A and B are shown apart, each in its own frame.
Chain A
Amino acid sequence: MLPAAAEPAAGDSWGMLACLCTVLWHLPAVPALNRTGDPGPGPSIQKTYDLTRYLEHQLRSLAGTYLNYLGPPFNEPDFNPPRLGAETLPRATVNLDVWQNLSDKLRLTQNYEAYSHLLCYLRGLNRQAATAELRRSLAHFCTSLQGLLGSIAGVMAALGYPLPQPLPGTEPTWSPDPAHSDFLQKMDDFWLLKELQTWLWRSAKDFNRLKKKMQPPAAAVTLRLEAHGF
């Protein structure tokens, strides 16, 4: 189900990043789900939902470790900085009414685009991380996140929606701003992890909504019979 594994981190890391980002944006190459019998998009929506839960759980320990690595004040629970910089990060926050009325296509597209960007940024983070253990955890998380992207792509394909194609020149790029101080760089890292966590919570709700919309009403009857233990 997962797309081809990422290339090993070797050689020019900047080139590698650009290459990886390009790979991600051309994910339509991912084979569509096995549709024999065609249970509909339901199972793959459920799988995507489960993936967001798994990732959110993984992120909790990863973020804890990474924030400790950044040191105070980033690892303090009360840390509440103003949202400055990090403008290019995809924001999960959305107006309540707008969110509730999103079309399925737009809902899926926003998720897909967000995780594509976030994955790119995360790989940039991985490049800089000091300890090998941190790099290992980040790499593992990136792989899982790539799996999530593939899963979302699968749902979109099953529903007949086209994957978003980036306009030339707008591909997400990430590079450490040389003008950024060490502290500002850490702030960017902090917001990246925060936004990632919030997106995973939002995705769980997004896929809940999709799940309920796709669910055939007969499913409820099936559950009741099972409950009687026959």
Chain B
Amino acid sequence: MAVRALTRGLLGFRYSRAATVASPCGGHHYVTAPSAKPPQPQAGDVTEKILNQPLEKADFFRVAELFSLKDLFDARVHLGHKKGCRHRLMEPYLYGCRLDHDIINLDQTMEHLQLALNFTAHIAYRGGIILFVSRRRQFGHLVETTAKDCGEYAHTRYWQGGLLTNANIQYGPGVRLPDLIIFLSTLNNVFQQHVGIRDAAKMNIPTVGVVDSNCNPSLVTYPVPGNDDTPAAVELYCRLFKMTINRAKDRRKQMELIHDVPSSSWKTDFNEATKNFH
């Protein structure tokens, strides 16, 4: 999607051959200077091949094998809040209501979770920065250790207003924003939605979010309807995301070894490309 287009555009910028373009607007001729010749044209083709190969299959990283319906059921993912707490927009994801308690439809959750894990794997494969966000104090430590175990980032404290939207001023010019934000709980407290969802949508950052029956799933790119209050469920999500990200990163290292690409870390290559873009 947007990330793929961005990556493609950046790679094109980096490895484009010399070209002069004359655009006749207002009588002036604008000629772009020829960009620097790529040092190894072979490396560019191989990197393109490494990046494009996972896109040919639907479930390249086989994330569907990581979990089953029984695992979700045993982790109590299907339990929702009471009928009075229900959000109107969550009604399509509910299986029904039993004695005033909402039950989330696990068949739908399976599909949504598979899409979300697949997307996360592709982002991790391409060296994207992933940020785990959760304002539930009960699971703050768990989320932070999960992020540490897969080499990504977590933010479980107070979210300052301009963290994403005012990043250039708050953190210095040219700061790199996350490429994916994973919300283990989309609520700040039981009344307010987390500010990060709105801000990520403003900054064109895709989000994956676990939405319970009292949450608003509108702005989340890959909502995963499920329980976000029980420790067993949150531990399951953390484990699944960690396994997916590690699997994708290991696969990338494997592909680089197979194609004999010099294993300078591709995250810093992405950094340099982004700086040139700015």
Tell me whether A and B are bound partners. Answer: no
A residues in contact (CB < 8 Å) with B = none
B residues in contact (CB < 8 Å) with A = none
